Amino acid sequence: MKIDTAPIVAIATAPGRGGIGVVRISGKRLDGVVAAVCALKSGASLQERHATYTSFVDADGRTIDQGLALYFKAPHSYTGEDVLELQGHGGPVVMQMLLARCLEAGRDIDLRMALPGEFTQRAFENDKLDLAQAEAVIDLIDASTEAAARSASQSLSGAFSKVIHTLVEQVTTLRMLVEATLDFPEEEIDFLEKSDARGKLAAIRDSLDAVFRQSAQGALLRDGLNIVLAGQPNVGKSSLLNALAGADVAIVTAIAGTTRDKVTETIQLEGIPLNIIDTAGIRDAAEATDEVERIGIERTWHAVAQADVIIHLLDACRGPTAEDERIIARFPDNIPVMRVWNKIDLSGHRPAIERMPGATHVYLSATDHSGMELLRAELLQLAGWQQTGESLYLARERHLVALAAARAHLEIAAAHAALNDHALDLFAEELRLAQERLSSITGQFTPDDLLGLIFSRFCIGK
Q: Which fold has domain 8-129?
A: Gyrase A; domain 2 (3.30.1360)
Distance between CA atoms of residues 46 and 49, nearest Å = 9
This prediction has a pTM of 0.70
Beta-bridge mates of residue 266? 275
Domain 137-219+393-443 CATH class label: mainly alpha
> How is the chain split into domains, by residue range?
8-129, 137-219+393-443, 232-269+279-382
CA angle in degrees (0–180, nearest 5) for 294-297-299: 115
Q: Is cis: bond before 185, omega within 30 of 0?
A: no
Distance between CA atoms of residues 403 and 139, nearest Å = 19
Asked if the domains 8-129 and 232-269+279-382 are classified in one and the same CATH topology, the answer is no
Distance of CA 165 to the CA centre of its chain: 21
Spell out the per-residue pLDDT of the chain, length 462, in tens.
456 789 999 999 988 888 999 999 999 999 999 999 999 987 788 999 999 999 999 999 999 999 999 999 999 999 999 999 999 999 999 999 999 999 999 999 999 999 999 999 999 999 999 999 998 888 888 887 777 888 888 888 889 999 999 999 999 989 888 887 776 655 544 666 777 888 999 999 999 999 998 887 777 777 778 888 988 888 888 888 888 887 555 444 444 444 445 677 888 887 778 888 888 777 665 555 667 767 777 888 888 888 888 889 999 998 888 888 888 888 888 888 899 999 999 988 999 998 887 788 999 998 999 999 999 888 887 766 655 545 677 778 889 999 999 999 999 999 988 876 677 889 889 999 999 999 999 987 666 666 676 677 777 777
Is the domain 232-269+279-382 a CATH 3.40.50.150 member? no
Nearest residue to 454 via CA among 11, 123, 24, 9? 123
Is 262 within 8 Å of 230 (Cβ atoms)?
no
